[in-house]
Structures are given as structure tokens and as C-alpha cells.
Structure 1
């Protein structure tokens, strides 16, 4: 029987803890929840979770899941980190779901490897662990002996991906049907990420120009147009734009247009062609191409996901 160990801790999110438990138990795997200090742990939702096993369970597991973590600034204890390193050294496969990636990174198990975490914490992760090849926009990253995933529901996708390798596609599809979730989403599919407009000071010409551009996403916008509105040279505008947004003008405009298209798909019944025109893509073909390249789904599939429409 395949042995799974799931690491619990005080103030763990019940949802994150339950994801690997329900996925692997539904497939008949042996699942043990363990903690550095067994007993009744406080869940983040305000109730207690009784945990019988200590970290010795990690010494016997084939696959170990860290389902989340308390916070991006909290360093796990040396006891937990050493237990994870020992398990990895003997050949166990380690999984960090959502903020669990921070725990694996603190253990040094992601050094030189690609990894991901929840998009809202990707900047903190990249700053804390520059030796890790951060991939902030994907659902999960399988790097063989170490696997990481994005937040919340992406943990289900990651666990189903792992289960497919353990028990096969047919059994995994049965589990997915039981859980009423899609049986497979590729790890490279994009997380649904918001890029808010950077804060700018009142009277700042660059900030005013960004707002001006956002109100005209349906129109052709060139670098020269934005620089002229800001009363700057192309070179000065480009330098200040990158310093404020961390992006090029073209990439920023594309992402804002994608965001506009997403909002229209979520909030309106407008045909795809109208959505494409209103967001500045010009044609439904162009919108579909950019959606596929950036989000990994079609506009129609995105609308179904967020609105439940057929």
C-alpha cells in the first residue's frame, strides 16, 4: 500500500490539510496526519484537530505533503526541517502545497530547482529564496523528487497529478469524479492572477498616463502616445515606466487588456468578438491566441469556469 504522510501544525487551514487527505484516501492510499507535537492542534477556523502521530511518520512514508504554512515570515523549526531532509535523502517524494513551498525552501530542498507557490506570495518567496527558480504563474511544478503547487484549489490539481503517477489515470479519474473536480489540469496552466495598478502620487504625470491608458484599452496605444501624454521622451518614459511597473510597456498593456477581457467574460454575456474589441485585441482570433499563450485556456473555457455557463 502507498504510504502518505501529511504534516499538520498549529493554526493550519482545514481546507489545505484536507486536500491531500481526501484525494489520497479516496484512492485507497494509507494516509497519516502527523505533527511535530501530536495532540489537539488549533485550526485556523477556530476548532481543534486531533493528531496522533509525530514526525516519526515521515520516516516510513513514500510521499510527504506539507499542505501549507502559517506565514511567509515564519521559519519552520529545525526539528521539522531535519525530518524533511532525512526523508528526502532516503528517497521519499516531498510535496509543498501553497505556502508549504516555503517550508521545503527553508529546508534547502528547492535550491537550484523550479518551484511555485500562491501568486500572492511569489514576490516574498523570490526575495527570500533567490536560489530557487521561481515560476509564479503556473498551477504546480513537478521536479521529480520535489513537487510544489500554487494555492488553494491548485493543491487538488497537484494531488491528482501525483495520484495519476501512483495508481494510474483510470483510478484517478474515478477519484476526480467522486470529488466533482476536473480530472486533469496541466501544471503549466496559469494561475488566475490580478496585476493591480501600481500606486502613484497625486500629480504624477506617469501615474496619470497609466490611468489615461486604462480608459482607452480598446484603442491602439503606442509607446509614443503614452510618452507624449506624460510629456516625456521615449527614453525617459521607458525608464520610469519600468521602474514603476517592473514591466515593459507592451507587456503591461497586454496584461491590462487580458484583465479587461477577463472582467468582461466574468460580468457580461457579450460575444467573444465584442469582448476582444472592447479589450483592444481587435479580433476574437487574437484574443484566443493571447488567452491560450498566457492563461492556458480559451476565453469560452474561462467564462465557463467563472460563470458556470454552458
Structure 2
């Protein structure tokens, strides 16, 4: 169904926005009014989906608390208009708008709505929790620009274990967005093979947080860093190395042993499905796959051989905390 999306500030928002939220959240889902109406409304942009005859069908809001992160919330479609694609149109309209300004979009999803958000490039990033008596999870999209450009072309874009199409990249910004999107869904392992731990690629705040989250919150997790050159590590304070020293049982670094065969192309492996593969150590060119168990298995076998032959880094002992 064709809909139009209108944007308002809270001060200028029509009564339809409040009325839909009242009907869906307060009356239908029994959310306490004191939880539904909050101060965030004052700083958010509010979106209203209307039908061709101008009748209101759904609402949502978008706001930001961090420079690079936007939040979508209070998304509600009136019961009579559900199942017609209105929610998808509303969500994707907001994502396209946000993608020009933000590198990450977060939201809190009710349990039943998880597949709905996965179809638009979001993945689960928390355990279940209770919000107003309703089970919720946090979800995020770490590459909103790439995802929004692929709307209508890909199903469940960037969902680990489901998105089987390759994502090509030829720039560092696209590569890091894909790398974060794969690594952010890790539940067991992140294996990284590269020439060195380049600061621009691996010492970014977001990537460090993804590594830390996996290492700290998943009991059987393992982060393996396999590199050729560790000398730059003593020249600049590398936060991932410091994190490794604080969680040595979960994060480990080894050096390539040149006496054994090694790969001449870097890659990142996530669990048993995700792959980010570069054609060259010195260029941000390659592809990412979110569901490629065959390639991931072959690369994992190669990684394991290099890892088993690898050496401990003596340079790390010189790094002060």
C-alpha cells in the first residue's frame, strides 16, 4: 500500500501521533502512561504515515544522543492497517534519512518484531529484557547507508547466517562498515589475519567495543589476532592490545612464522559463517559474506595452520599499560 511519510517536531506534531501511540501502546499493550510519555519526545523527530486519503496509519520517532548514533522508537501501526507494508515503509524512510548523518542506528524491539527489523538490516545485540512487562531485545544496524542503498534488492541484508550475497568494497569506509557489521554479530569467535594491527582499521572505538563485548559476555568466546609485524605496537598505544592483556584468556595475539607457508591476503572470520576478505594487504578492496560456511571453513583451516605455527610476541612485553 502506498503511503506518505510526514515529519514533525513534538511541538508541531498533530494529535494523530499521540492518538496512535495512546491506542497501540497504552490501550492495546497496556503500557503505563508514565512510561509511554517521556522527555525524549521533546528532542525527537516524529514521523506519521498517512494513506492516500490522508487518514493516519502509523507513527515512529527518531532521535540522537551520540554524534554517530541514531535511535528509532515508539513505532506503532494501527491494527486495521497492519500487514500492508506500512511499517516497513515507515522504518525504511527513517533509515534513509538517518543514513546520511549517522553511522549506526539502534532500537529496542519487542520479541515478535525481531524478524520484521531483520528484514531491514538490523541484528540482535543483547539478551532479552523486560520493558513495561513486554520482552524486548536491543537491535542495531552498523551500516545504514549500505543497507538503505540495498532496499528492495536484498532479503535480510547483513544478517549473519542468512544474507548469502557478497558485499563488495573498494574504500576503507565501506570496508570498516562491513567489518563491524559482521564482527558485531559474533557469538563465539573472531579470527583476524593481517599484516599488522593497523590503527585506522582495528583501533577504532566501535571495533574495540565489538571485540570487548564478545570477549566479556560470551563464555566460550575467543578472539585471535594473527599478524606479520608487531613492531608498530610499541610505537603507538594500541587499545586492543591493552584489552588483550586484561582478558588474556579470551583475546590472544600471535606472529606469523615465516618458516611455514602463509596466506598473502588478509581476512576476518566471524563464527562459522562470516567472512571479510581483502585482495591485498595494502588496499581496501575485497568482499564481505555474512553466510558462507564453505569459504569460512577453508579459511579457518588455513588460519589454524598458521596459528599453530605462530610465535608469541616479545614486543608486547614492552607495552606499558
Same structural fold, with TM-score higher than 0.5 when normalized by the shorter chain: no
Bigger relative contact order, structure 1 or 2 (CA pairs below 8 A, ≥6 apart): 2
Higher strand residue share: 2
Higher helix residue share: 1
